[in-house]
Structure 1
């Protein structure tokens, strides 16, 4: 982050808006006709309804909490920040378990399944490392690991951005996963690691 207040930082504002928009759009599947808003996921309602529910509820919740966790105002209220952080960690754990439980019913290629599998493992791993560092009182490292976790959470936004030109080009949502299953989170993670190196913070972790 720059020294500029986050409330005026255009990158923070854009990230916050995109997180909230994607979270709300994802929750639409819970209240709108599911076959209309998420037709490519309908087959999961047969035999995978519980993990699908966990994925659709807690994944967007984690995404919606990302801006709050990096808002300086929340960190000036340690109790509020801790409880929001716990909810963030729990949401990721449940969403990742849901994603992994849905993989046996996945209808795409093994290449894309491996991408989503890797994302789920890294999502839990980076978040877990962030939690451990916080419990140890190693807050500089905690911030770095949670930044990596946020980058993986933000893959939900990157995936949708990448899908747009692919769908315009004639691909189905399932076909776009050949690119987005890996690209959506690799781009984010590489960007974060580059930022850490640039700011001289990579060695801290």
Structure 2
């Protein structure tokens, strides 16, 4: 199989850099939005869940706080420059990422029992929490075995679920702009915010002798 031309490689790298930057900006915007919940001001809670959140503010704080940590660290965990130049920092922030996922995922599982939209939405969010915890745990187990390829695959899958915080809000915004009923949209988005993300990540990281080139590029974004 012939190698891509230098010009094509350059275009691919520029496109991947742009995608990384867009993902970083979206992540930061969602973090800024979600951080309002940590003020525990009832007026920041969406109306349909205000009473539930008031009754479960500790669990809400754990979920939001953990998810914020994971989402803030995610883009930098995928950056080649950080891993190559500062491996200890990468490992340290990786530990914080895992802690964020653990706290956020367990909080999410607890909140799923009272999710707006009933059992169907609750199952969707519970599935997200379980998959988020499971993929991250598998990534930690893989690095413990010094299996870097498996670690990369599992952490890309974990990343796709961390990014569900972004896709959730994108879908809610699109549904609102389209004038779709909130309740029905919310139930669907409880699944749509993460199932396609994970399906794509599984496809891109399918087991083989060599990882797909676009996955290697995504995880080799320089930080300079």
Quick check: TM above 0.5? yes
SS of structure 1 residue aligned to 2:193: helix
The higher radius of gyration belongs to 2
- Residue of structure 1 in register with 2:115 after alignment: 106
SS of structure 2 residue aligned to 1:105: coil
- Residue of structure 1 in register with 2:82 after alignment: 74
Are residue 28 (structure 1) and residue 32 (structure 2) matched?
A: no
- Residue of structure 1 in register with 2:4 after alignment: none
Q: CA RMSD in A?
A: 2.5
**Alpha-carbon deviation of 1:124?**
0.3
C-alpha distance in 1, partners of 2:14/2:133? 27
1:6, 1:72 within 8 Å by CA — same for their partners in 2? no
The one-character-per-residue Cα deviations of 1:126-159 (angstroms, maximum 9, x if unpaired) are 0000001111111111011000000001011111
**Alpha-carbon deviation of 1:46?**
3.5
The one-character-per-residue Cα deviations of 1:84-129 (angstroms, maximum 9, x if unpaired) are 0111111111111111122333332211111111111000000000
Q: Which of the numbers 139, 143, 147 marks the counterpart of 1:130? A: 139
Query: Which ranges in structure 2 are unaligned for 5 or more consecutive residues?
Result: 1-8, 213-224
1:44, 1:102 within 8 Å by CA — same for their partners in 2? no
C-alpha distance in 1, partners of 2:154/2:167? 19
Q: Which of the numbers 163, 169, 174 marks the counterpart of 1:160? A: 169
- Answer with 188-197 or 67-76: which moved more: 188-197
- Report the TM-score when normalising by structure 1: 0.87
1:131, 1:142 within 8 Å by CA — same for their partners in 2? yes
1:151, 1:185 within 8 Å by CA — same for their partners in 2? yes
1:152, 1:189 within 8 Å by CA — same for their partners in 2? yes
- Residue of structure 1 in register with 2:195 after alignment: 186
C-alpha distance in 2, partners of 1:62/1:74? 16
